[in-house]
Amino acid sequence: MARTPRNTLSADLIVRTALELMEAKGTDAFSLRGVAGELGVGPMALYTYFRNKDDLYDAVRDHLMGLLPAVPSDEAWPDQVRAVCRSLRLLMLQHPCLAQLLAGRPLSGHETARVAEGLLGVLRAAGFDAETAARTHTTLFTYVLGSTSWEIQMAAERRDPEAWRRLRTSMESLSARDFPSVVELAPELARTTGGDEQFDYGLDLLLAGLQLQVRTPS
Amino acid sequence: MARTPRNTLSADLIVRTALELMEAKGTDAFSLRGVAGELGVGPMALYTYFRNKDDLYDAVRDHLMGLLPAVPSDEAWPDQVRAVCRSLRLLMLQHPCLAQLLAGRPLSGHETARVAEGLLGVLRAAGFDAETAARTHTTLFTYVLGSTSWEIQMAAERRDPEAWRRLRTSMESLSARDFPSVVELAPELARTTGGDEQFDYGLDLLLAGLQLQVRTPS
DNA sequence: ACACCGTACTATACACTGTACGTTAAGAAC
DNA sequence: GTTCTTAACGTACAGTGTATAGTACGGTGT
């Protein structure tokens, strides 16, 4: 019986454990000590496989990006773009921690590059020049990131009854004289903080703009 | 000489000090102890004015939102929308901490409501119905939030030479066979992670989609 | 078989964090 | 002068990431 068994760890095992922990106890509850504890190991053991916490973050992000399906190849380019954006959003909803992992750090890793490659390939094949393809890629990515992060954030807030109550009362304290539109549209605003329809609404605006641009090149 | 002078603090003074600290030492360097130290006061003194750290965060965010200019009233609605989005982005660039303050917590506070009121008012005046106005508001807000947060994040990364070097090398390690588009467009992608042009590109796509929708109501 | 060495892991320690709790003293009201 | 409220203090706790140093296992060379 080895008192300190070796080679029981691996980068992949650590990543999967970290991911499980984030999904079970919430993104914020994640800590190196927590992951190490789950693995029955001291906190410093992780530093054999990752330079620091951010490095582990990046690895988890890339692992999640690997779960994205390939771009459908037998569709028109607007539908392909829609598919890529929708599947990224779905992945983020399925793994809420992904929102923070994507927002907080630059993109890196092979799986992440694969996803970018898919979208860029669609855009190039559709006839976009290099600069426009890059601009469009960034625009789409930041839209998906922003809107879905917001959606997740709001959903989390709604789950916390105390925070939700405070939000409602602070909403109701607004005078209808000073803020007529906000007060009038409060129910609509609450309804449009997320959901498939809201996401598709913005995405379709972007796609409409794109198609218009393709048809009338400057 | 009073050993513990009283009434030297105020919510507003604390907010301003917190803001100064965040801008001087970076958003992450902000801590209750740091703010209290700057004010020559114990950490717990702040709890007289704020329930907790998030509460202070919200106050700082609302304070910053108060700096946004009013919506120009003598322009066509697409230009008004553009002006609102641009000024929010500029404020975020000027106060990088605002990105995190907006992303991490739900919106609240009077100044924040004032800004929402401005944009919603423009949309209602332009003839959008309640639901479409709310959807558009959310779409525009999340686009500005996502794209500008990303821009700030990338700019910060570029300022850290170590992180920037690692990013470059990880980019260059991608094989041109597996990731042809990413490798080919690397320079364009690096160039389009921010800047006025990139922001306006996406914003104009959204506005083009919106105008199209107005002209051809379902 | 045995010494060796790189490496996987442990142990300890440091400088932080937010905040719960209990105490003290300043200023106002009577 | 007495009493009440409250602003600010001090202490303490349970965390955090990680630098540094030490230890014992596994595979390799002789």
Q: CATH code at B40?
A: 1.10.10.60
Q: Is the domain of B119 the same as that of B175?
A: yes
Q: Is the domain of A82 the same as that of A178?
A: yes
Q: Tell which of B64, B84, B103 closes a domain.
A: B64
Residue A165 lies in a domain: yes
Under a CB-based contact definition with an 8 Å cutoff, are residues B167 and B193 in contact? no
CB-based contact (8 Å) between A72 and chain B?
Answer: no
Under a CB-based contact definition with an 8 Å cutoff, are residues B120 and B137 in contact? yes
| pLDDT at residue A4, rounded to an integer | 59
CA-to-C1' span, B10 to D3 (A): 26
| pLDDT at residue B215, rounded to an integer | 79
Q: Is the domain of A83 the same as that of A30?
A: no
Least Cα distance to B106 among A213, A161, A193 occurs for A193
Lookup: tokens for A62: 């890339």
Q: Tell which of A46, A64, A82 closes a domain.
A: A64
Residue A69 lies in a domain: no
Distance (Å) from the alpha carbon of A207 to chain B's nearest alpha carbon: 8
Band the pLDDT of B1: cuts 50, 70, 90: very low
Could you give the CA distance from residue B14 to residue B20 in angstroms, rounded to a whole number?
A: 10
Q: Is the domain of A78 the same as that of A35?
A: no
Lookup: tokens for A32: 């190196």
Q: Is the domain of A188 the same as that of A210?
A: yes
| pLDDT at residue A217, rounded to an integer | 65
Q: Is the domain of A162 the same as that of A209?
A: yes
Across the range B48-61, mean pLDDT stands at 93
Q: Is the domain of A181 the same as that of A110?
A: yes
CATH number of the domain bearing residue A130: 1.10.357.10
Q: Is the domain of B157 the same as that of B211?
A: yes
Residues of B in contact with A131 (CB under 8 A): 188, 191-192
| pLDDT at residue B2, rounded to an integer | 38
Q: Is the domain of B108 the same as that of B186?
A: yes
Q: Tell which of B30, B45, B64 closes a domain.
A: B64
Residue B4 lies in a domain: no
| pLDDT at residue B217, rounded to an integer | 65
Q: Is the domain of B203 the same as that of B97?
A: yes
Across the range B105-111, mean pLDDT stands at 92
Q: Is the domain of B57 the same as that of B97?
A: no
Distance (Å) from the alpha carbon of A91 to chain B's nearest alpha carbon: 17
Q: Give the other-Cβ count within 10 Å of B44's Cβ.
A: 9
Distance (Å) from the alpha carbon of B1 to chain A's nearest alpha carbon: 41
Instruction: Domain of residue B45: give its range.
Output: 11-64
| pLDDT at residue A5, rounded to an integer | 64
Residues of A in contact with B124 (CB under 8 A): 181
Query: Tens of pLDDT along chain A (218 residues)?
Result: 345 566 788 999 999 999 999 999 989 889 999 999 999 999 999 999 999 999 999 999 999 999 999 999 999 999 999 999 999 999 999 999 999 999 989 999 999 999 999 999 999 999 999 999 999 999 999 999 999 999 999 999 898 888 888 888 888 999 999 999 999 999 999 999 999 999 999 999 999 999 998 877 65
| pLDDT at residue A3, rounded to an integer | 52
Residue A83 lies in a domain: yes
Q: Give the other-Cβ count within 10 Å of A71's Cβ.
A: 17
Considering chain B, what percentage of its residues have pLDDT values greater than 70? 96
Q: Is the domain of B52 the same as that of B92?
A: no
Measured to protein CB atoms, the chain C nucleotides within 7 Å are: 7-13, 16-22, 25-27
Overall domain count for chain B: 2
Residue with the larger pLDDT of the pair B40 and B66: B66
CA-to-C1' span, B33 to C14 (A): 18
Under a CB-based contact definition with an 8 Å cutoff, are residues B116 and A180 in contact? no
3-state secondary structure of B106: coil
